[in-house]
Amino acid sequence: MNRCFFITGTDTDVGKTVVSCIMLKKASNVGYTTVGYKPVSTGVSEKSSLNFINSDISLLRKYSDLKLSDSEISPIVFSQKTSPNIASRINGREINLEVINFGLENLKRKADFIVVEGVGGWYTPLSFDMKISDWVKSREIPIILTVSFKIGCINHALLTVEAVQNSNLKIVGWVANRFSLKKKFHSNYFYSLLHMIPYPCIGIIPDISDWQSYPMEKYIKSRYIF
């Protein structure tokens, strides 16, 4: 049986990839065959005619058990670092949901633990008529919310939780990312969210620069995801 989770965030650049990689590592440690999937990627630079560089794709590939191509991990990529609907219009290339669905089904045949990383926030548009949230709803994938600790995170987190609830999707829990007791108000942010989000905090990830060399998988509580 496949375990599949969708990692969304309160905004772009909030640590969705960090949370995704930690979950992949933790699941692999307990015996799952893991793979990361990012249906749509933006901000991809071209290395050659057949090669692209994107840190999110590279990290998901690194922390996946299966050794897959970049196109299997992220079937739709754009070089522009902007909203997918804008990149799609610039390139004259529609974001095809059949391609995204095929990519996910391909991975489900190969792995039993799949972490799907979103692009931007919950309502990031893929076109004028379709948001990433619409696709997740059509697939009924359980949600894990990444909250980056900074000013405004309480409002952003509560808005995202409400939006996901309105989609009638299961919220597994939320992760406090870039948390530091040394930073002003972080503990206040945390306790506010702990009381205001009606779902468990399944992880607290510290604010460190080199997370890849840190055994951070211990900061995700496995009982909520396995």
**How far lies 149's CA from each of 178, 180, 184, 207, in Å?**
6, 8, 11, 9
The reply to whether 33 sits in an annotated binding site is no
Q: Which residues contact 223 (CB under 8 A, 6 or more apart)?
A: none
The reply to whether 31 sits in an annotated binding site is no
CA pair distance 19, 14, nearest whole angstrom: 10
Q: What is the CATH number of the domain that holds 129?
A: 3.40.50.300
Residue 48, pLDDT above cutoff 50: no
User: What does pTM read for this prediction?
Assistant: 0.93
Triad 209, 189, 207: Cα angle to 5°: 5
At residue 96 the predicted structure's pLDDT band, cuts being 50, 70 and 90, is very high
Which residues constitute the domain of residue 113?
3-224
Q: In the prediction, which pLDDT does 198 show?
A: 97
Triad 126, 130, 135: Cα angle to 5°: 90
Q: Which residue has tokens 């979950």?
A: 23
Q: Which residues contact 166 (CB under 8 A, 6 or more apart)?
A: none
Q: Are 36 and 21 in contact (CB under 8 A)?
A: yes
pLDDT, tens only, 155-185:
999 999 999 999 999 999 999 999 887 888 9
Residue 58, pLDDT above cutoff 80: yes
pLDDT, tens only, 99-147:
999 999 999 999 999 999 999 999 999 999 999 999 999 999 999 999 9
The closest alpha carbon to 115, from 221, 212, 21, belongs to: 21
At residue 226 the predicted structure's pLDDT band, cuts being 50, 70 and 90, is confident
The reply to whether 65 sits in an annotated binding site is no
Annotated catalytic residues are 38
- Provide the number of structural domains found in the chain: 1
